[in-house]
Structure 1
Amino acid sequence: MTQFTSKAIEESFIRLLNERPLDKITIKDIVDDCGISRNTFYYHFQDITALLEHVLNADVERVLSQHLDMDSWEDGFISAARFALENKRLVYHIYNSVSRERVERYLYSIAGEVMRLYVSRITEQVEHAAHKKVFPEDQKMVVDFYKFALVGMILDWLNTGMKKDPEELIRRVGEIFHGNIEAALTRVAR
């Protein structure tokens, strides 16, 4: 029952965030939407900020626990960011509230994990083909570069009103930079 109630609170919160900004959502709105008492809400979450952290962290954990299709980092990122892509208004409402840094942390976590997995897979291929080693600090530099570039583009997309299709944007970036990760890892292999 407790898990069911917690899930109902999360779903109400997500539904409300898709309708309006975070700072316009109250605990009363959430409890009215899911038909529970304020005490029940407080049994599960300290406040709305704790609920927000829980929702974002749960999605990051979902990403970390699944085996992403890593044929391309683009597919991996789209798969990992499914929640954000399906709830664009929610992300926009959180980002344009006092919780901007939470959205940024969430995006960096997802982009970082996708790039880490992809770079790790490509590193194995490069090392096998070149009979050389790619050192962890070089892998990390490649991961960080692409993580920051990807999140920067997404933040720009949020700041400019989310007019472009995010999947199309990610695929276009992938097309433009196709082969660069492999080339970078090949260059630093020793």
Structure 2
Amino acid sequence: MAQQYTRKMIRDVFVRMLNDRQLNKITVTDIVTACEINRNTFYYHYPDIYSVLSEIFQTEMQKVIDEYNDTRSWEESLVSAMSFAIKNKKAVYHVYNSIQKEELEKYLFEISGNVMTHYVDTVCQNINASPDDKHIIVLFYQYALTEMLINWVASGMKEEQKQIIYRTGLLFNGNIERSLHKSAELSEK
């Protein structure tokens, strides 16, 4: 229990610092001073700052998985998944402009994939689409959404991402289900 508390405290302090300064300007000394712990305690929990960042993304990803609700649309799920980025725009922007950019891109890719996989599985329950076609549909939307999110981060996250996600959903409404039905038709031939 105390270990979880210490890990969470380190992550929270790290995110606060990341909202104020670039990743390469944050040191273990800064974190342990703010947390009022010693260096050994930090290193007991994490080998370096980058592992703290990685765990933050993993924790946020697990929240998306745990909170997924079959009654939600993919848009609602993606907006929920992006809540960390929306609340911590500067931190995310600082990660994007650091050597850990790939970690952020991987996180966005996994979130998009997770959301789309759950959504396609939910929509497909009564449609006899082939597993290969389901995978192609998920990948298509995963790549499209990931690139959209990366461009949003790269542009400084000035636009209201929630509105863009919902608008995208309106523009492409029904396409996933039509594609799944098409797959079922092709499989029958």
Per the alignment, in what secondary structure is the counterpart of residue 134 of structure 1? coil
Alignment map for 1:2-151 (pairs within 5 Å): 2-68=3-69, 70-125=71-126, 127=127, 133-151=128-146
Identity between Structure 1 and Structure 2 (%): 42
Q: Is the 8 A contact 1:59 1:83 kept in 2?
A: yes
The amino acid of 1:124's aligned partner reads: Q
- Partner letter of residue 19 of structure 1? D
Deviations 1:107-152, CA, capped at 9 Å, x for gaps:
1111101000000111114x1xxxxx20111001000000100010
Alignment partners' CA distance in 2, 1:71 and 1:62: 15
CA-based RMSD: 1.3
Unaligned runs of 5+ in 1: 128-132
Letter in 2 for 1:18: N
1:70 and 1:45 map into 2 onto residues whose CA distance is 37
Q: Check conservation: 1:69, 1:75, Cα contact below 8 A.
A: no
Letter of the structure 1 residue corresponding to residue 180 of structure 2 = L
Equivalent position of 1:130 in the other structure:
none
Partner of 1:163: 158
Structure 1 residue 5, shift from structure 2 partner: 1.3
| Unaligned 5+ runs, structure 2 | none
174, 180, 183: which one pairs with 1:179?
174
Q: CA–CA distance in 2 between the matches of 1:59 and 1:114?
A: 13
| Alpha carbons of structure 1 residues 71 and 54: separation in structure 2 relative to 1, 3 Å | closer
Separation (CA, whole Å) in 1 of partners of 2:58 and 2:14: 14
Question: Would you say how many aligned residue pairs link Structure 1 and Structure 2?
Answer: 184
User: How far did 1:85 drift?
Assistant: 2.2
TM-score (norm 1): 0.92
Q: TM-score, normalised by structure 2?
A: 0.92
Give how far 1:67 is off.
3.0
Q: Secondary structure at the match of 2:157?
A: coil
